[in-house]
A and B are shown apart, each in its own frame.
Chain A
Amino acid sequence: AQSVTQLGSHVSVSEGALVLLRCNYSSSVPPYLFWYVQYPNQGLQLLLKYTTGATLVKGINGFEAEFKKSETSFHLTKPSAHMSDAAEYFCAVIPHNGGFKTIFGAGTRLFVKA
């Protein structure tokens, strides 16, 4: 069965530092790939998604992610962290042959230090 692994349940960075949140998926056929963000007391919202085409995908708030088929990865990055980036981030997939069900990883909570 398709699964999503997020390395690190908590990541802490200083304001202005690089943000790197890791995501790996398990399937021989690359699925559709997503990153969602959940701010405190808010619903999940989409940051970015990869379906086809260019493997470097840009999202909202300066985030981007790169699909690497050889590594079955879809890591999320942002060059310079801002205090407002503190939130929980979820990597998610929709398998091509799995209907319309989105499968989520366990999430990574990002802390940003002043």
Chain B
Amino acid sequence: DTGVSQNPRHKITKRGQNVTFRCDPISEHNRLYWYRQTLGQGPEFLTYFQNEAQLEKSRLLSDRFSAERPKGSFSTLEIQRTEQGDSAMYLCASSPGNQNEKLFFGSGTQLSVL
């Protein structure tokens, strides 16, 4: 069990640029989640996948955000035309699949938009 891996750990970009983050979940986990966390707040749900299917997407998520999990393994989160308000820690988590299962979190990708 190598845990949930996220890359990069830090990303600094200029406003208007596109960024992409990658998440590698624990290999046998079929659910994968993306959350966003800003200072002083709890993780905010963005979207989740069961295998390769994206089952839910937060209404708060603008259409500049897109996520994929093409083969049901790793996932990518892309933000187009970044804005300063997108600056946050982006967290990925995975779980085995039962509803009451805990989440296993990665260390996150810290995005700073200048």
A contacts, CB < 8 Å to B: 4, 9, 32, 34, 36, 41-46, 49, 51, 90, 92, 94, 96, 99-107
Contact = CB atoms under 8 A, between A and B. Distances in A.
Interface residues on B, range: 20 to 34
Q: Which 8 A-B pairs have the closest CB atoms?
A: A104-B42, A43-B105, A46-B102, A44-B105, A32-B100, A51-B100, A43-B107, A104-B43
Contact of A105 (B31, B42, B95, B108): B42
Given A44-B103, A49-B100, A100 B40 contact: no
A96 B99 CA distance: 8
A34 B104 CA distance: 13
Contacts of B95: 100
Given A44-B43, A106-B42, A34 B102 contact: yes
Nearest to B99: A100
